[in-house]
Amino acid sequence: MPTALVLGASRGLGLEFAKQYLADGWSVYATHRAEADRVRLRDLGAQTLALDVLAADDLAGLAWQLEGERVDVAVVNAGVYGPRNSNPQHPPTNGEFDLVMHTNVLAPMRLLPRLAPLLGPARGTLAFMSSRMGSISATGAGHGMLYRVSKAAENMVARLAHVELGALGVRVLTLHPGWVRTDMGGPNAEVEVSASVAGMRRVIADAVAWPGGGFYDYRGQSLAW
Ligand SMILES: NC(=O)c1ccc[n+]([C@@H]2O[C@H](COP(=O)([O-])OP(=O)(O)OC[C@H]3O[C@@H](n4cnc5c(N)ncnc54)[C@H](OP(=O)(O)O)[C@@H]3O)[C@@H](O)[C@H]2O)c1
């Protein structure tokens, strides 16, 4: 039975990844912060792990709890959007900058050495939940400035992971889920969460059609960096 590790599985896209892999009979490690989310994930059949990606102790705890485990798919999903009014006329405060950059950039960087020993033995796939808003060449609007900057930086983390972990046989993907109806995407978003995750799981599952090092959307389209 293959194993998935979903980092940030309490709601939205992460919860849907956990549900869909469980429905397919996978063994799923799912991380949460709140106790109510631990109970919900446990009741779904996941093995739960407490993880605030901002807490160094939690990252260390994740590593020892999973020591010796083989992970076929790890999804780095936890993320925040930050201030909705961030644009070139409204730069972020120190606190806003720190929260978004620590969650979306520093945490993925710190996760890499924790995830490599789990994914390497399985020659697994590491999927970063990025965004088209992190594409520098496709930038056409100034809104969401802080989020865009963080996702562009996360894309570089993913590319560096591809270079480094690729040598261990790990396939690294940068994914755009679409504009999805979650707490972050809001009720007017275009894509249903189940369709987004089903599409991304199709991409994750086919290493020939979607090789490591790529930036793909949930329909499998290649995106420009
Ligand atoms: N929805 C979209 O349209 C869209 C588009 C492009 C990219 N994305 C990306 O997809 C990912 C998931 O988005 P979503 O729409 O599902 O967002 P969401 O509904 O707001 O869920 C965010 C998830 O991240 C977790 N999280 C946030 N900060 C965390 C921290 N410090 N430690 C651990 N977990 C933390 C949350 O956990 P708690 O419940 O504990 O807060 C929650 O599980 C994000 O990386 C986002 O940038 C989303």
For residues 208 and 142, give the distance between their C-alpha atoms in angstroms, rounded to a whole number. Answer: 36
For residues 67 and 114, give the distance between their C-alpha atoms in angstroms, rounded to a whole number. Answer: 9
10 Å CB burial of residue 138 (0-12, 13-18, 19+) is exposed
For residues 152 and 133, give the distance between their C-alpha atoms in angstroms, rounded to a whole number. Answer: 8
Q: Which residue has the CA at smallest separation from atom 44 of ligand 1?
A: 79
Distance 80 CA to ligand 1 centre (A): 6
Could you identify the atom of ligand 1 that is nearest to the CA of residue 151? 47
Q: pLDDT by residue (tens digit) across 48-66? A: 999 999 999 999 999 999 9
For residues 195 and 174, give the distance between their C-alpha atoms in angstroms, rounded to a whole number. Answer: 18
Which fold is adopted by the domain 3-217? Answer: Rossmann fold (3.40.50)
Contact 144, 81 (CB under 8 A): yes
Q: Give the residues surrounding ligand 1 with Cβ less than 6 Å away.
A: 8, 10-14, 33-34, 51-54, 77-80, 103, 129, 131, 176-177, 179-180, 182-185, 189
pLDDT of residue 143: 92
pLDDT of residue 32: 98
10 Å CB burial of residue 53 (0-12, 13-18, 19+) is buried
Q: pLDDT by residue (tens digit) across 114-157? A: 999 999 999 999 999 999 999 999 999 999 999 999 999 999 99
Distance 164 CA to ligand 1 centre (A): 26
Q: pLDDT by residue (tens digit) across 183-224? A: 999 999 999 999 999 999 999 999 999 999 999 999 999 999
For residues 225 and 222, give the distance between their C-alpha atoms in angstroms, rounded to a whole number. Answer: 9
